[in-house]
Amino acid sequence: AFQKSRFFRFKIPEIHGRLSQNLLEERIIETDNSAAVSDAILKGLKAALNSSEFDFDYFISPIRNLVPRPNPYSLYMTQYLMEVLIDDPHVIEIYGTDEEIYHAINRVISKSSLQFEKAEQEVSDQLAKNKALVPGTSEYEVARDQILRKKVGEPYK
């Protein structure tokens, strides 16, 4: 999970917007205040990003075997919806089975992950053309980070 945190850090704003919209459009979450629910979803994404490895694993342990080869962040947000968000005063009801909720969340996170991987590959291809930079050196990593930030934006802090 924590190897993917780089992707997650860069894509939180995008995931937040798409996930909030998707959960409301697919009528998984029924609410009387979509802005408050959106804020609560962002809070869950931040919690996933900033939790320790132990806390992360402990939080997802009840649903760890929900699907084969799950995305850890999708599991975290599924558990967050079922355990935390369901008690939010602005949430009227959460519909769907655990698996249906996981798949709705995973579609959003997987799409963002694929876009990020594609951007990283494009950056790597661009750097490969520069013979002055040697992979593994600090100069290479700095150049890679700068180009990636230009391509996908600043990481969430």
pLDDT in tens, 80-135: 999 999 999 999 999 999 999 999 999 999 999 888 889 888 988 888 888 888 88
Structure token digits, residue 66: 């929900």
CB 44 within 8 A of CB 74: no
Rounded to whole angstroms, what are the CA distances from 97 to 20, 109, 111, 123, 129?
A: 18, 19, 22, 39, 49
pLDDT at 156 over 80: no
pLDDT value at position 82? 94
pLDDT value at position 148? 87
Q: Tens digits of per-residue pLDDT, 45-70?
A: 999 989 998 999 999 999 999 999 99
User: pTM here?
Assistant: 0.85
pLDDT value at position 2? 43
End-to-end CA, the chain: 18
Look up residue 29 and give its DSSP letter.
E
Sign of the torsion formed by the C-alpha atoms of 127, 129, 135 and 137: negative
CB 104 within 8 A of CB 96: yes
CA nearest to 65, candidates 83, 79, 54, 53: 79
At 4, the pLDDT band (50, 70, 90 cuts) reads low
